[in-house]
């Protein structure tokens, strides 16, 4: 496969940035998208040019570091995958592929396709954890939890914090990410101790960091690589309203 790439190049958050065009040749359809970028960078290095900066780590769809906006879609033209799981067989010979970083005021560009997603960490620090002393490791059956609740908590825990929901949302909202974290704890007894404080603190931090509000378009759920349901946003809203009523 011979392909033309339109890649966003940007020195830092203050640089205006621009698209630059490159070509890659003889790419196997079985090559992963990140391997294709590795081939491009290898060619650029041999030509004495600066390689394209992009994030990656596990390359197994677990960490979400590889997040890219490809041809107008978060993680590219496939469903329920991260960018590292995307293969070149999803494209055609001669295609022009546009590659961009996440576009969000809360995710400033560090360089080229790399963005700063530490805003997610700040939301978690505001309340997305359990700080109560639980003592030693309890017996597995010491705290009975209905299977439906355990399953729902595990589904919410599948969120990898890649940021596709924010990049896809027209408002740049972090509600799906935050709702997944809140829902994962809200369905377990260990998470109920701090439930009231958690919801208020995380919503306040989200607003402070410049994320937009949710208008329930469902775009976040459609592009989430782990299929996190927007029903978790409804639970977050309930948790938040209950906390406000208690105040």
- Going from N- to C-terminal start, the domains of the chain cover 3-110, 117-246
pTM confidence score: 0.90
Mean pLDDT of the chain: 93
> Which contacts of 209-212 are long-range, i.e. CB under 8 A and separated by 24 or more positions?
209/106, 209/119, 209/122, 209/123, 209/174, 210/105, 210/106, 210/119, 210/172, 211/104, 211/106, 211/119, 211/166, 211/172, 211/173, 211/174, 212/169, 212/170, 212/171, 212/172, 212/173
Whether 245 shows a pLDDT value over 70: the answer reads yes
Q: How confident is the model at residue 193 (pLDDT cuts 50, 70, 90)?
A: confident
DSSP classification of residue 73:
E
- Separation of alpha carbons 226 and 191, rounded Å: 22
DSSP classification of residue 60:
S
Q: Of 84-93, 110-119, 187-196, 231-240, give the lowest mean pLDDT range.
A: 187-196
State the pairing for strand pair 96-100/69-70.
antiparallel
Whether 177 shows a pLDDT value over 80: the answer reads yes
User: Which CATH code fits 117-246?
Assistant: 1.10.1060.10
Reference 71, options 96, 51, 88, 93; nearest CA is 96
* Nearest-10 Cα torsion for 42, 44, 46, 47: 170
Fold of 3-110: Ubiquitin-like (UB roll) (3.10.20)
Whether 89 shows a pLDDT value over 80: the answer reads yes
Q: How confident is the model at residue 131 (pLDDT cuts 50, 70, 90)?
A: confident
> How confident is the model over 57-71, as a mean pLDDT?
95
Whether 138 shows a pLDDT value over 80: the answer reads no
Confidence at residue 191, expressed as pLDDT on a 0 to 100 scale? 86
What are the b/e assignments for 167-198, b being 16+ CB within 10 Å? bbbebbbbbbbbbbbbbbbbbbeebeebbbeb
The values of phi and psi at residue 22, to 5°, are -135, 165
């Amino acid at each position: 496969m011979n392909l033309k790439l339109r890649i966003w190049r940007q020195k830092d958050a203050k640089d205006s940035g621009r698209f630059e065009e490159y070509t890659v040749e003889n790419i196997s359809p079985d090559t992963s998208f990140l391997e294709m970028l590795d081939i491009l960078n290898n060619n650029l290095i041999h030509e004495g040019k600066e390689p394209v900066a992009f994030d990656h780590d596990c390359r197994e769809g677990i960490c979400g570091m590889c997040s890219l906006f490809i041809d107008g879609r978060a993680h590219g033209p496939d469903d329920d995958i991260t960018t590292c799981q995307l293969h070149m067989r999803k494209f055609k010979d001669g295609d022009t592929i546009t590659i961009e970083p996440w576009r969000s005021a809360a995710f400033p560009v560090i360089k080229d396709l790399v963005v700063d997603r530490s805003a997610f960490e700040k939301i978690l620090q505001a309340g997305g954890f359990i700080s109560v002393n639980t003592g030693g490791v309890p017996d597995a059956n010491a705290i009975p939890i209905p299977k439906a609740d355990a399953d729902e908590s595990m589904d919410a825990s599948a969120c990898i914090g890649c940021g596709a929901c924010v990049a896809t949302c027209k408002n740049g909202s972090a509600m799906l990410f935050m709702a997944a974290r809140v829902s994962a704890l809200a369905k377990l007894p260990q998470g109920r101790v701090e439930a009231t404080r958690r919801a208020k603190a995380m919503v306040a931090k989200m607003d402070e960091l410049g994320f937009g509000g949710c208008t329930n378009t469902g775009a976040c759920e459609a592009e989430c690589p782990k299929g996190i349901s927007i029903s978790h946003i409804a639970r977050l809203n309930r948790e938040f309203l209950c906390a406000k009523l208690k105040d």
